[in-house]
Amino acid sequence: MRLLLDFVVFSFLVSSTFAAPAKECAYKIKEEIASPPGWTKRSKAPAGHLISLRIGMPQENFHQLEKQLYEVSDPAHERYGQHLSKEEVEALVAPHPISLSAVNDWLNGFDLKEEDLVRSPAKDWITVTVPVKMAEKMLDTTYHIWKHTASGDQLVRTTSYSLPSNLHAHIEVIQPTTIFGRFRPDKSMISIIEDAPATVVSDGSQISAGDSGITVDASCNTTITVSCLKQLYNAVGVVGSGASSIGITGYLGQFANIQDLQSFYADQVPAAVNSSFTFESINGGLNSQNLSQAGGEANLDTQFAFGISSPTPATFFSTAGSPPFNPDTTTPTNTNEPYTDWLDFILKQENPPHVISTSYGDDEQTVPQSFAIRVCAGFAQLGARGVTLTSSSGDHGVGDGNPNPATQECFTNDGRNLTKFIPTFPASCPFITSVGGTTHIPEVAVSRFFSGGGFSNYFARPLFQELAASKYIASLPKGTYAGLFNPNGRGIPDVSAQSDRFRVFVGGRIESIGGTSASSPTFAGFVSLLNDARIKAKKPTLGFLNPLIYSLGVSGFNDITVGHNSGCGTTGFNTSVGWDPVTGLGTPNFQKLKEIVTSF
């Protein structure tokens, strides 16, 4: 089964070699985009500005990796749970020697030596840092400084680049070139930050959680705590044994404060007081412990993911780097999306955490499809190794990143300016479990902000989701949103969890935070507990989760049938019985899921 689009077919590599050195071949456009809406071209980029080019070569046997990924992730397959080793994965994504030779010759033509290059373990990526002047020669292009009209952010980018014609078969993508994503804190899916009461007041009364038969403390309808989540999702008294592991990604100067974590534990998870997490710095990423620099996003993610799964070993990854270009600084600026730097790091690790959550993303269309496919392939490598990845589905319904639905401009950036719903990436990658948002008890799709959802324009609908998504689309009244979404695309999200009024400690203050930022680490925390149950039963970790949850796991979710996800001047999609592009399959019932995942 082939999910990713436009991968190069390699049969020609067996019988052919490139005909001439790269310098003797005419350049031909490799990738070209229209001028991105909302951005204005300013001046030429400074010739001496350093830019880190990431060169992605074709992964010759990715189709084999994908096949094996589905085999080890499908509970009906005899290979279920037989995850691949780091070395096995690297062998499957390694480029063909002819591609390596062709690209090496091309780089040598610019006097770039091996010591100038940084290669990924599988050698499918090469990173080289060069001045803009050299990058322009290498790619036969001109870089400019582009300014985002609404925010003032600036990027060094081009709208077209070329390669020698004989290299097109040996290089899939080079970035940063045509990527105009805005990977920044206001894209990190946090929607609400408010002061919260010093204490949670409970009179002991209970409210029904709905058809599950579960009752929850009434205070949980105004404030969400770890206790509320464990009550709501049928995991009261469940704690980790330390057998599993969990990780949280942090970007853009979002620091997880340990003092705040201790305050959170004292308030909500007393048994975890004096425990902490392992800190991993990537590309010089920091984790300042100055209370004034505590990050709402980082604290939300770590406090709830680690609080739910405690005492599971936990890791916080801080990745340095930010796309916006600062013309007033003389220091090198890494203008790649920082999650690719995180991928570089995590794929090198022998034992990455068993489940990892991220709460950051971009509008899918701002990430060139060729680049999105390669990043998604990196997530597939982690899944094949037994790592579960969860990601926020977004906070703007079917709309773009504009937090005000009334002013969203949902237009394609391909030069045609067509009105379209805007899915998010990396949530649209089929190898990630995308997590939408709910609120209130009984649960409904979140309404104060909007659970991101819809259908990918880049990734075809995977087989594991075909039945559920096709049934939903067939239920839509004829002509509903015709032309506004891709009816054959991968559906978003896969599942949901509470995402509003989370009680978080930030910089010594107590705040109420909402967003699918909250739902992704919450769901990851419960997946970690499921991994713990499987390990105790002498079974392997869950790894890539989606084939399981869309088959045997369906009965382990609380179906959400009230709500919608407005955006683009519409009410968006409605929830329904079964899967829907608002809340996915629903929210977890831990005990049911535990029974399912320990039964095979």
Known catalytic residues are 297, 301, 517
Which CA distances in Å does 186 have to 150, 361, 479, 513, 522?
Answer: 13, 10, 34, 13, 20
Nearest to 459 by CA among 368, 547, 572, 372: 372
Strands annotated E in 198-263: 206-208, 215-217, 246-251
Kindly give the residue spans of alpha helices, DSSP state H, lying in 404-485: 463-475
Retrieve residue 558's tokens.
């609380």
Instruction: Check the annotation: does 414 bind a ligand.
Output: no
10 Å Cβ neighbour count for 199?
9
Q: What does the block give as tokens for 561? A: 């049938």
CA pair distance 317, 286, nearest whole angstrom = 9
Write the single-letter amino acid at 436: G
According to the annotation, is 559 in a ligand binding site? Answer: yes
Q: Are 68 and 84 in contact (CB under 8 A)?
A: yes
Q: Which of 101, 97, 21 is nearest to 60 (CA)?
A: 97
Cα 522 to Cα 402: distance, rounded to the nearest angstrom = 25
Query: At which residue do the structure tokens 């330390």 appear?
Result: 242
Is 560 known as a binding-site position? yes
DSSP string, 563-578: -B--BTTB--PBP-SS
Measured in whole angstroms, how far is the alpha carbon of residue 391 from the centre of its chain?
Answer: 5
Is 214 marked as binding a ligand? no
The label of the residue with tokens 């489940």 reads 355
Rounded Cα distance between 27 and 18, Å, is 15
Which residues are part of a known binding site for Ca(2+)? 559-560, 578, 580
Which residues are part of a known binding site? 559-560, 578, 580
